[in-house]
């Protein structure tokens, strides 16, 4: 899972201890970095985006993200099946790819291509809503931590440690135990959004550093939105793959949605004889996540490497 407790806590602690070790040895380097940061803060958001998206990672990531967003907005430009037709059982269980079904069929004769297209739409919508929740929560906590630098930062980031070390999968299992397996989509969306709050909190708090600069904060947030988008989709598809979202929910019988992670899990029932039922949805999940990660890398500021010897 993306929020493994030991790994997240290790990164959280080691990053702070390393900063403390080198703080006294970076006077000249920090002054240069501050001058560079000041010049970057004067750069408009439009110039920032244009300059960052000139990198190969940024260009490729932006193209792929736009492609998946286009599919999410216009799903029937790719598939002839409507959402209701997509999860309607038909003949041809586990049939291989054909002219009528280019990517094959699943157990109930469902068209794999249609499942993927509507699954992309579902993932993009969920990712957008979860990131929005995480951004709103992160803005509130990040403002407090950044504005009240000494005690505020320690208090808020100390609170965020709980989210870093608490496994997200446990939180989902707890909610299922409380609300049952059919808890609404809004609960899933809200839970994933809460798990994204610590990431946005840290980014915004570091961008404020006692002084509110809207351009600086906007640039910091922009580069991390794709990263958190990818994390949200990973979490969402993982809980579907693990069966924490029941099949009735997945195939639209309850909420008119198609969940890619559960489709991969369902196709795994006959993986050796009908690999297309899970292979193509799995590659689609990989492609969506990769596109947002590439965009995140492309939006990163270039920082020259500084050699520092630490005892």
The model's pLDDT over 273-303, given as tens digits with 9 standing for 90+, comes to 889 999 999 999 999 999 999 999 998 864 4
User: DSSP secondary-structure letter at 301?
Assistant: P
Domain presence at residue 29: yes
Domain presence at residue 311: no
Domain presence at residue 127: yes
pLDDT for 214 beyond 70: yes
Range of the domain at 247: 5-92+100-298
* Secondary-structure breakdown of the chain: helix, strand, coil percentages, each rounded to the nearest 5: 70, 0, 25
Mean per-residue pLDDT, 5-28: 44
Phi, psi angles (nearest 5°) of residue 243 = 85, 15
Q: From CA 195, how far away is CA 133, in angstroms rounded?
A: 10
Tens digits of per-residue pLDDT, 250-273? 555 455 678 899 889 888 888 888
Cite the DSSP H helix spans in 98-179: 112-147, 149-165, 168-179
Q: What pTM was computed for the model?
A: 0.78
Tens digits of per-residue pLDDT, 239-248? 888 877 655 5
Contacts of 58 (CB under 8 A, 6+ apart): 52, 294, 295, 297, 298, 299
Domain presence at residue 303: no
Domain presence at residue 186: yes
pLDDT band at 182 (very low <50, low <70, confident <90, very high): low
Angle at 104 between CA 100 and CA 109, to 5 degrees: 85
Q: How many domains is the chain partitioned into structurally?
A: 1
Domain presence at residue 67: yes
CA-derived radius of gyration, the chain: 22
Per DSSP, the three-state class of 190 is: helix
Share of the chain above pLDDT 70, in %: 73
Domain presence at residue 305: no
């Amino acid at each position: 899972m993306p929020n493994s407790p030991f790994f997240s806590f290790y990164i959280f602690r080691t990053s702070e201890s390393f900063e403390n070790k080198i703080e006294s040895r970076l006077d000249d380097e920090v002054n240069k970095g501050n001058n560079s940061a000041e010049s970057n803060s004067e750069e408009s958001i439009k110039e920032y985006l244009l300059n960052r998206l000139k990198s190969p990672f940024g260009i490729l990531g932006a193209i792929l993200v736009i492609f998946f967003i286009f599919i999410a907005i216009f799903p029937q430009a790719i598939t002839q099946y409507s959402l209701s037709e997509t999860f309607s059982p038909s003949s041809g269980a586990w049939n291989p790819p054909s002219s009528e079904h280019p990517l094959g069929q699943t157990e109930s004769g469902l068209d794999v291509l249609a499942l993927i297209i509507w699954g992309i739409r579902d993932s993009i919508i969920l990712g957008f809503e979860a990131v929005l929740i995480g951004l709103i929560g992160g803005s509130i906590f990040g403002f407090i931590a950044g504005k009240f630098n000494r005690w505020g930062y320690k208090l808020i980031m100390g609170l965020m440690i709980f989210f870093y070390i608490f496994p997200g999968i446990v939180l989902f299992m707890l909610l299922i135990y409380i609300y049952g397996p059919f808890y609404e989509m809004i609960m899933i969306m809200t839970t994933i959004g809460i798990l994204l709050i610590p990431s946005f909190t840290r980014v915004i708090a570091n961008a404020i550093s006692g002084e509110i600069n809207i351009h600086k904060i906007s640039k910091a947030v922009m580069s991390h939105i794709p990263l958190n988008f990818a994390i949200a989709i990973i979490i969402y598809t993982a809980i579907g793959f693990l069966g924490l979202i029941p099949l009735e929910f997945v195939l639209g019988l309850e909420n008119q949605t198609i969940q890619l992670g559960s489709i991969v899990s369902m196709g795994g029932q006959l993986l050796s004889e009908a690999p297309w039922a899970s292979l193509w949805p799995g590659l689609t999940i990989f492609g969506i996540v990769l596109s947002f990660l590439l965009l995140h890398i492309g939006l990163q500021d270039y920082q020259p490497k500084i050699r520092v010897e630490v005892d």
